[in-house]
Amino acid sequence: MTPGTDGGAAIRVLLADDQELVRAGLGMAVAHSPGLELAGEAATGAEAVRLAGELHPDVVVMDIRMPGTDGIEATRLLSAGAAGPRPGC
C-alpha cells in the first residue's frame, strides 16, 4: 500500500473504460498523483464490478458507455452491494 501525502494510506483507484488509451492516460495521472494509488484497470463494466469485489478500491472512475455491462449498470450493481465502494457525489 502506498502512503498518502499525510502519511496515511493512499486512496486506491480502480479505472474502468473500454478505450485502452483513456485508461493508460488516466492511469498515468493517478500513478503520478500524491496520495493516490492505481488499484486496477477494467475494460468493461462487468470486469469493473468483479475487480471491485477482489481489489476493494476506495474509488471507481467509470466510463458510462462500454460494451456489455455499461458504466451505469455497473454502478447500480456496486450500489446494490454486489462489490466494492459505494458511489458518492
Q: What is the pLDDT of residues 3-34, one digit of tens each?
A: 555 667 899 999 999 999 999 999 999 999 99
| pLDDT more than 90, % of the chain | 75
Q: Evaluate whether 59 touches 28 at the Cβ level (below 8 Å).
A: no
Total-model pTM: 0.81
Domains plus CATH for the chain? 18-79 (3.40.50.2300)
DSSP letter string over 44-77? Answer: SHHHHHHHHHHH--SEEEE-S--SSS-HHHHHHH
